[in-house]
Amino acid sequence: MWDVIDILIVSILIYEALKLIRGTRATQMVIGSLLVLLLFYVSRRLPLPTVRWMVGALLTYVVFGAIVLFQSDIRRALASLGQAPFFRYLARTTRAAETIEEVVTAAELLARRRIGGLIAIEREIGLRNFVESGIPVDATVSYDLLTTIFQPGTSLHDGAVIIQEDRIAAASCFLPLAVHPKLDRDLGTRHRAAIGLTEESDAVAVVVSEERGEISLSLQGRLYRGLSPDELRTRLQVLLAHERAPKPVKPASAGVDA
């Protein structure tokens, strides 16, 4: 049993190592190293003492040489090890918490300044079609950048910001508008776009009203209005970071039902 596990682990390590060096200059270096080892083996089987001495002297420094020659590949291998599923899950949880905090801070600042904003956060269903309708950004999520994007007069303030994998993928994106007959008549384009997007996907949309300075959250085609920053943070933690809510959150009014 343990022999099988031992062989399996070694096989996986060799396979991953070959994947890392495939298509790089390290491939040629590995082939050269194997030829040197083959030459050393041949020199021991045949009467070639000079060759055996020379290759033996080279092998003495092979470890140090490998560290120097493969330093970039070794760094890449260690980085790849850190991206194993378990470690990716831990990093993902940390990044999600940071993203939530930046989004909540941005929504609070926008609401305080009566600046409209629409932030859509991708979950399981991809939003690539909507990302391609906007202007690529590909930046770290920060409240400074989010509030700057929605400043009136800037070329990006119209439309939505879409966050993918805890990065701002694009800004000024066009989203489908909801045309539900029961929607409140006072809902603007941003709110209807948030509802329309969440009707077609499992995304979460945060909306800030410039008229009322109100923070809303749209999910599954429903709009929860009048949220405080703490309520928004709690809901996003449950939806994005999969944390258990510390206490039940009182449902806000839904745009479809209001």
In single-letter form, the type of residue at position 237 comes to: Q
| 57 CB neighbour count, 10 Å cutoff | 9
Token pair 């909540």 in the structure block, residue: 104
Q: Where are the domains of the chain?
A: 2-81, 91-240
CB 121 within 8 A of CB 206: yes
In this prediction, residue 162 has a pLDDT band, given cuts at 50, 70 and 90, of very high
pLDDT one-digit tens code per residue, 92-104: 566 888 899 999 9
Report the chain's mean pLDDT, rounded to a whole number.
Answer: 79
Q: What is the pLDDT of residue 69?
A: 63
DSSP string, the chain: -HHHHHHHHHHHHHHHHHHHHTTSHHHHHHHHHHHHHHHHHHHHHTT-HHHHHHHHHHHHTHHHHHHHHTHHHHHHHHHHHTTSHHHHHHHHHHHHHHHHHHHHHHHHHHHHTT--EEEEE--SS--HHHHTTSEEEEEE--HHHHHHHTSTTSTTSSSEEEEETTEEEEEEE--PPP--TTS-TT--HHHHHHHHHHHHSS-EEEEE-TTT--EEEEETTEEEEEE-HHHHHHHHHHHHS-PPPSSPPPPPPBTTT-
Rounded distance between C-alpha atoms, residue 42 and residue 35, angstroms: 10
In this prediction, residue 82 has a pLDDT band, given cuts at 50, 70 and 90, of low
Rounded distance between C-alpha atoms, residue 161 and residue 139, angstroms: 11
Of 71-75, 87-91, 188-192, the one with minimum mean pLDDT is 87-91
Rounded distance between C-alpha atoms, residue 236 and residue 233, angstroms: 5
Is the CATH number 3.30.450.270 carried by domain 91-240?
no
pLDDT one-digit tens code per residue, 41-56: 787 778 778 877 777 7
Nearest to 22 by CA among 63, 64, 77: 77
pLDDT one-digit tens code per residue, 1-35: 777 888 888 887 777 666 655 655 566 666 777 77
In this prediction, residue 77 has a pLDDT band, given cuts at 50, 70 and 90, of low
The better pLDDT of the pair 235, 94 is held by: 235
Of 15-24, 132-141, 198-207, 224-233, the one with minimum mean pLDDT is 15-24
